[in-house]
């Protein structure tokens, strides 16, 4: 079965055709990054307008890349939550109209469940496992019992991890999106140049939570306080590379501390990562070093937003006989999970 997946929740206008939830026949991602870069962040009004202009061409290209005519598609899946409302509505409206006109099922997709499905396009994983969903808007550690059944164990109590990368990068002028530039700069920096504190979140309901506002403040407003000295007793260089490496190490260590705690407590040793921050090289390196766990990452081109993960997850619903009502609408936030999400 061929599913057309449409993703427009943020600044990527994307569509893909995926067969049987596994075989990617096409995957078109038209990024708006150059148009938002000048503002150092996504401008919602620009995003939704560009989706409106691009969506039809992006879907057409996804179909032709896959060698499909519209009638060859068995179902249409689109992201309906969470994200920028205006942007979500463009993809959702297009998908519903496309499916309705062809008399095919429409399937509403949760963006974070789609990120979680990205590594499963190429690998098979047995449930249950731990999910690590880390992106521009979310930082979630969850227990995953099925493709649509997650229990949030921990999340951020303030900023998301990707958001922290973006804000630090914006302040220092490293570039947008922040994670990409910080990861690049960090490769030539000393991660011990600045010793930033970790948040004090060990107890009770916060056992698996993370927090980034303290780190953000330390890096942006108090950096001199955390500057280390070299062997000769001279202060280390206040270079972009050193700032990036030290910030990145702390930001990822915050995540790992909560994740490792969840691994210990649940006994689950399979981790599936997803979202833009799953592209981070230091995160991947740290998890690869733990030989007692199996960690699956999406390929780099499927960490960020894309239509393939939407189409792949759409197939799972379709195979179970599900379809969404035509009345389904978009939602900026999500309320249907057991703990805070987002």
Residues that bind ligand ATP (CB under 6 A): 9-10, 83, 111, 115, 135-138, 162, 165-166, 177-180, 183, 275-277, 279-280, 304-305
Radius of gyration of the chain (CA): 20
Q: Could you count the other beta carbons within 10 Å of the beta carbon of residue 308?
A: 29
Shortest distance, position 138 Cβ to Fe ion, whole Å:
8
Site for Fe ion in 288-307 (CB under 5 A): 305
Rounded CA gap, 331 and 82, in Å?
A: 6
3-class SS of residue 307: coil
Rounded CA gap, 137 and 81, in Å?
A: 12
* Closer CB to ligand ATP, 177 or 314, in the complex: 177
Shortest distance, position 180 Cβ to ligand ATP, whole Å:
5
Shortest distance, position 187 Cβ to Fe ion, whole Å:
24
Rounded CA gap, 121 and 35, in Å?
A: 30
Write out the two tokens for 329.
């609408």
Burial of 310 (C-beta count, 10 Å sphere; 0-12/13-18/19+):
buried
Write out the two tokens for 15.
């569509």
Size of the site for Fe ion (CB under 5 A): 2
Q: Which stretch binds Fe ion (CB under 5 A): 20-28, 130-138, 200-208, 253-261?
A: 130-138
**Interface residue list for Mg ion (CB under 5 A):** 10-12, 305
Shortest distance, position 59 Cβ to Fe ion, whole Å:
19
Shortest distance, position 184 Cβ to ligand ATP, whole Å:
8
Tally: H helices and E strands in the chain: 10, 10
* Closer CB to Fe ion, 81 or 135, in the complex: 135
* Closer CB to ligand ATP, 171 or 266, in the complex: 171
Shortest distance, position 320 Cβ to ligand ATP, whole Å:
24
By rule CB under 5 A, what string of x and - marks binding of each residue 77-116 to Fe ion?
Answer: ----------------------------------------
Judge whether 211 is annotated as a binding position.
Answer: no
Judge whether 281 is annotated as a binding position.
Answer: no
* Closer CB to Mg ion, 36 or 96, in the complex: 36
Q: Could you count the other beta carbons within 10 Å of the beta carbon of residue 222?
A: 12
Judge whether 134 is annotated as a binding position.
Answer: yes
Judge whether 307 is annotated as a binding position.
Answer: no
Rounded CA gap, 309 and 298, in Å?
A: 10
Rounded CA gap, 318 and 309, in Å?
A: 14
* Closer CB to ligand ATP, 99 or 211, in the complex: 211
Q: Does residue 81 contact residue 310 with C-beta atoms inside 8 Å? A: no
Shortest distance, position 105 Cβ to Fe ion, whole Å:
24
Quick one: which of 27, 32, 135, 139 contacts Fe ion (CB under 5 A)?
A: 135
Of 174, 164, 258, nearest to 213 by C-alpha is 164
3-class SS of residue 326: coil
What are the distances in angstroms from CA 113 to CA 3, 291, 330? Answer: 17, 27, 15
Judge whether 209 is annotated as a binding position.
Answer: no
Q: Does residue 275 contact residue 133 with C-beta atoms inside 8 Å? A: yes
Residues belonging to the binding site for substrate are 133-137, 166, 179, 183, 280
User: Which parts are annotated binding residues for Fe cation?
Assistant: 111, 115, 305
- Binding-site sequence positions: 111, 115, 133-137, 166, 179, 183, 280, 305
**Which residues of this chain interact with Fe ion, rule CB under 5 A?**
135, 305
């Amino acid at each position: 079965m061929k599913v057309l997946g449409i993703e427009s929740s943020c600044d990527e206008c994307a569509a893909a055709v995926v067969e049987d939830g596994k075989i990617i026949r096409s995957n078109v991602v038209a990024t708006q990054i150059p148009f938002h870069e000048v503002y150092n962040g996504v401008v919602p009004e620009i995003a939704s307008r560009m989706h409106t202009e691009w969506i039809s061409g992006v879907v057409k290209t996804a179909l032709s890349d896959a060698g499909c005519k519209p009638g060859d598609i068995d179902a249409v899946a689109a992201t309906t939550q969470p994200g920028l409302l205006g942007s979500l509505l463009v993809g959702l409206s297009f998908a519903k109209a496309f499916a309705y006109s062809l008399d095919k099922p429409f399937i509403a997709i949760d963006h974070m469940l789609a990120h979680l499905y990205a590594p499963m396009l190429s690998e098979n994983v047995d449930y249950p496992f731990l999910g690590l969903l880390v992106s521009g808007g979310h930082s979630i550690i969850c227990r995953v019992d099925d493709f649509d059944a997650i229990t949030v164990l921990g999340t951020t109590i303030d900023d998301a991890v990707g958001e922290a990368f973006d804000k630090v990068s914006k302040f220092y002028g490293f570039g947008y999106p922040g994670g990409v530039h910080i990861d690049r700069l960090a490769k030539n920096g000393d991660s011990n140049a600045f010793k930033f504190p970790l948040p004090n979140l060990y107890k009770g309901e916060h056992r698996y939570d993370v927090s980034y506002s303290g780190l953000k403040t330390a890096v942006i407003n108090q950096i001199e306080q955390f500057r280390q000295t070299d062997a000769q007793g001279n202060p280390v260089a206040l270079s972009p590379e050193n700032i990036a490496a030290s910030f990145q190490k702390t930001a990822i260590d915050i995540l790992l501390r909560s994740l490792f705690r969840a691994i210990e407590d649940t006994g689950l040793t399979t981790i599936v990562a997803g979202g833009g921050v799953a592209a981070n090289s230091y995160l991947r390196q740290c998890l690869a070093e733990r030989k007692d766990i199996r960690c699956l990452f999406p390929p780099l081109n499927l960490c960020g937003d894309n239509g393939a993960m939407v189409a792949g997850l759409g197939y799972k619903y379709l195979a179970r006989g599900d379809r969404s009502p035509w009345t389904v609408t978009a939602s900026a936030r999500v309320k249907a999970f057991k703990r805070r999400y987002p």
